[in-house]
Structure 1
Amino acid sequence: MSERLVIIGGDAAGMSAASQARRLKGPDELEIVAFERGHFTSYSACGIPYWVGGDVEERDELIARSPEEHRERAIDLRMRTEVFRIDTAEQRVHARDLEKAAKGEKDAEYAVPYDKLVIATGARPLRPPLPGIDAPGVHGVQTLDDGQALLDTLERTRGERAVVVGAGYIGVEMAEAMKKRGYEVTVVNRGEQPMATLDPDMGRLVGEAMSGMGIRMVNDAEVTKILTTEDGRVRAVATEDAEYPADVVILGIGVRPETDLARKAGLPLGTHGGLLTDQAMRVRGHENIWAGGDCVEVLDLVAGTERHIALGTHANKHGQIIGANAGGGYATFPGVVGTAVSKVCDLEIARTGLREKDAKAAGFQYVTTTIESTSRAGYYPGAALMTVKMLAERRTGRLLGLQIVGREGAGKRVDIAAVALTAGMTVDQMTALDLGYAPPFSPVWDPVLVAARKAVTAVRAAG
Structure 2
Amino acid sequence: MSAASQARRRLDGDRLEILAFERGTATSYSACGIPYYIGGDVGDPDALITRTPEVFRRDHDIDVRTRHEVTEIDLDRGAVRVRDLERAAERWESYDRLMIATGAVPTRPDLPGSDAEGIHGVQVLDDGLAIRRDLDRAKPRTAVVVGGGYIGLEMAEALVKAGLEVSLVDGAPQPMRTLDPDMGELVAGALRGVGVALYLGEQAEGFETSGGRVIAVRTSERVLPADVVILGLGVRPNSGLAEAAGVEIGSTGGIVTDRRMRTRAEGVWAAGDCVQTRHLVSGEPVAIALGTHANKQGRVAGINLGGGYATFPGVVGTAVSKICKVEVARTGLNEREAAAAGFDSFSVVVESTTRAGYYPGTTSMKTKLIAERRSGRLLGAQIVGEENAAKRIDGLAIALWNGMTVEQMTALDLGYAPPFSPVWDPILIAARKATEQAERDAG
Identify the residue that residue 98 of structure 1 maps to in structure 2. 85
Which residues of structure 1 form unaligned runs of 5+? 1-14, 102-107
Displacement of 1:287? 3.8
Residue 182 (str. 1) matches residue 168 (str. 2):
no
The answer to whether the Cα contact below 8 Å between 2:190 and 2:323 also exists between their aligned partners in 1 is no
Who is 1:344 aligned against?
323
2:365–2:389 CA contact under 8 A, matched in 1: yes
2:67 maps to 1:121: no
Among candidates 86, 90, 96, match of residue 73 of structure 2: 86
TM-score with structure 1 length normalisation? 0.94
The structural deviation recorded for 1:189 is 1.0
> Which stretches of structure 1, 4 residues or longer, exceed 2 Å deviation after superposition?
none
Q: 1:246-291, CA deviations, whole angstroms, 9 ceiling, x for partnerless residues?
A: 11000011001111100101111111210011000111x2241110
Match of 1:41 in 2: 27
Equivalent residue in structure 1 for 2:126, among 142, 145, 148: 145
Aligned partner of 2:248 among 268, 271, 279: 268
Q: Per the alignment, in what secondary structure is the counterpart of residue 93 of structure 1?
A: strand
1:90 deviates by: 1.0
RMSD: 0.7
What's 1:104 paired with?
none
Q: Which runs of 5+ in 2 are unaligned?
A: none
2:221 to 241, 255, 265: 241
Does residue 115 of structure 2 align to residue 167 of structure 1? no
CA contact (8 A) 2:328 2:390 kept: yes
Answering whether residue 51 of structure 2 is matched by residue 71 of structure 1, we say no
Tell me if the contact between 2:114 and 2:207 (Cα under 8 Å) persists in the aligned partners. Answer: yes
1:172-211 Cα distance to aligned partner (Å, 9 max, x none): 1000000001101101111101010101111011001211
Amino acid at match of 1:423: N
Distance in 2 (alpha carbons) for counterparts of 1:336 and 1:313:
10
For 1:325, the equivalent position in structure 2 comes to 304
Residues 13-32 of structure 1 aligned to structure 2 (within 5 Å): 15-32=1-18
TM-score normalized by structure 2?
A: 0.99
Matched, 1:277 2:257: yes
1:159 positional shift:
1.5
Aligned match of 2:237:
257
**Which position in structure 2 is the counterpart of 1:198?**
179
1:421 matches 2:400: yes
1:313 aligns to 2:292 (yes or no): yes
CA drift of 1:298 comes to 1.0
Question: 1:62 and 2:48 equivalent?
Answer: yes
Using the alignment, how far apart are the partners of 2:208 and 2:239 within structure 1? 31
Match of 1:303 among 282, 304, 322: 282
SS at match of 1:333: coil
**Post-superposition CA distance 1:184-243 (Å, at most 9, x none):** 1101111101010101111011001211221111100100001112x1211111112101
CA contact (8 A) 2:112 2:206 kept: yes
Name the amino acid aligned to 1:399. Answer: L
The superposition leaves residues 386-445 of structure 1 with CA deviations (integer Å, 9 ceiling, x where unpaired) of 111100101111000000011111100000110001111000000100000001100111
1:132-182 deviation digits (Å, cap 9, x = unpaired): 111000000111110011111111111111110011100110000000011
CA distance in 1, matches of 2:437, 2:366: 17
Q: What is the distance in 2 between the residues matched to 1:190 and 1:41? A: 34
Counterpart residue type for residue 54 of structure 2: E
Other-structure match for 2:36 = 50
Distance 1:334 1:287 in 2: 21
Cα distance in 2 for partners of 1:40, 1:85 equals: 22
Give me the whole-angstrom Cα distance separating, in 1, the residues matched to 2:346 and 2:434.
7
**In 2: Cα distance, 1:428 partner to 1:390 partner:** 12
Q: Distance in 1 between matches of 2:402 and 2:309?
A: 23
Shift of 1:460: 1.3
Deviation at 1:367, TM superposition (A): 1.0
What is the percentage of aligned positions where both structures have the same residue? 59
How many positions carry a matched residue from both structures?
A: 441
Which residue identity lines up with residue 22 of structure 1 in the other structure? R
1:52-96 superposed Cα distances (whole Å, 9 cap, x missing partner): 000000010000000000111111111100001111111111111
